Amino acid sequence: MNSSPQPISPAADAEAALWAARLEGGTLDAADRNALDAWLAASPTHRAALSSYCQFSADLEVQLPALVAAGRVAMPAPTPRRSWSFKLLTTCTLAAAAVAIALTVHFNRAAAAPETFATAVAQRQTVTLADGTRVELNARTRLQVELTRTERRVRLASGEAFFQVTKDSSRPFIVETPAGSVRVTGTVFNVLAESPAALDVTVVEGSVAVRPAASAFGPIAPRPSPPAPYSLTAGDHLSARPASGVTVKRLSPAALANTLAWRQGAVVFEDVPLAEALARFAHYHGRGITASPGAAQLRIIARFNLDDLDGFFASLADLKPTPVQTTRDASGLYHVSLRTEK
């Protein structure tokens, strides 16, 4: 099995530089030492980053006299009340330089190097962004994250993601999809972009402003130009489709839980055509699944394990009152039909 160094987040990188500065600046007390030990134990990348910055500090200390002589670093002036040794001045200047570099590295990396996260078929993943925001990705989801000093922007190209956004009124959090955008400063919500023309937003806590793309309004005339944002609060669900336009409805607690069941690896169908259920499993597993006209229009009410494709097909065989059968050809394509169909 090939191994490669784990990337370190901009936030952890900045913390490493700050710890290095504190180690150079003086002795840590017991509480600080415990905090440092806990931080180092949290990830193997933390120790490597701290070691790198400590080495940087050692190199800077060697070069500091020349930097002072060249006027590139200003040393603090002595005060009448305190006697400053060169070693202490060096340590303070070194700590200040490390902190400044840490902050510069943090902001420059965040602005210049957006992070990309992607999940494969039948895979879910949870990530924590540099600002503390927690994001859960459903299968076959791809998003790009760019955090700057003025805003936090996520581009959800496709798939589904659940966001628990860290509150920061000075930096709005924006999720962009091909079918529209969602803007918040700190809240909990779910975004589903199952196709370039479709958008679903479900709010769990707080409020969001959703601005569907003009294409989401379908053939109605006149279209909003630009489309006005929709304000959603906890329990609201927005759906935008070219065929049906934009609809907003209030979900019951049970319906809200069913919508978010994918986070526990489940899916709940509430009186939907079997064709819709088959499409959900086909997308999640990256498989080809077709249905006969008779089977496609059957309506089902059931809860399934998203990860268990074979179990899903087995359950369809016991469907009441019209059981179906599933066949698979040599190419791996599944076909679902009524047992009465030839």
Report percent pLDDT > 90 for the chain. 51
Residue 216, pLDDT above cutoff 90: no
* Tokens found for residue 146: 């760019």
* Tokens found for residue 79: 């005060």
Tell me how far apart the alpha carbons of residues 38 and 54 are, in angstroms, rounded to a whole number. 18
> 210 with 216: CB under 8 angstroms?
no
pLDDT, one tens digit per residue, over 30-42 is 777 777 778 778 8
What is the residue extent of each domain of the chain? 10-112, 115-257, 265-338
Residue 313, pLDDT above cutoff 70: yes
Q: What is the pLDDT of residue 49?
A: 72
Lowest mean pLDDT among 49-63, 72-86, 236-250, 264-278: 72-86
Q: Which residue has the higher pLDDT, 144 or 78?
A: 144
Query: Whose structure tokens read 């020349």?
Result: 66
Instruction: Give 149's pLDDT tier (boundaries 50, 70, 90).
Output: confident
Tell me how far apart the alpha carbons of residues 316 and 323 are, in angstroms, rounded to a whole number. 6
Residue 201, pLDDT above cutoff 60: yes
Q: What is the pLDDT of residue 289?
A: 95
Residue 208, pLDDT above cutoff 80: yes
Report percent pLDDT > 70 for the chain. 72
Over range 10-30, report the average pLDDT. Answer: 71
Assigned fold of 265-338: Phage tail protein beta-alpha-beta fold (3.55.50)
Q: What is the pLDDT of residue 228?
A: 77
Tell me how far apart the alpha carbons of residues 20 and 13 are, in angstroms, rounded to a whole number. 11
Q: Which range among 43-52, 87-96, 214-223 has the greatest average pLDDT?
A: 43-52
Q: What are phi and psi of 144, to 5 degrees?
A: -120, 135
CB atoms within 10 A of CB 226: 9
CB atoms within 10 A of CB 220: 10
Assigned fold of 115-257: Jelly Rolls (2.60.120)
Residue 97, pLDDT above cutoff 50: yes
Instruction: Give 181's pLDDT tier (boundaries 50, 70, 90).
Output: very high
* Tokens found for residue 245: 């336009």
Check whether the bond before 219 is cis (ω within 30° of 0). no
CB atoms within 10 A of CB 100: 12
Q: Which candidate, 185, 248, 239, places its Cα nearest to that of 216? A: 239
Tell me how far apart the alpha carbons of residues 77 and 211 are, in angstroms, rounded to a whole number. 56
Q: What is the pLDDT of residue 290?
A: 95
Instruction: Give 3's pLDDT tier (boundaries 50, 70, 90).
Output: very low
Q: Which residues contact 219 (CB under 8 A, 6 or more apart)?
A: 242
**pTM, full prediction:** 0.66
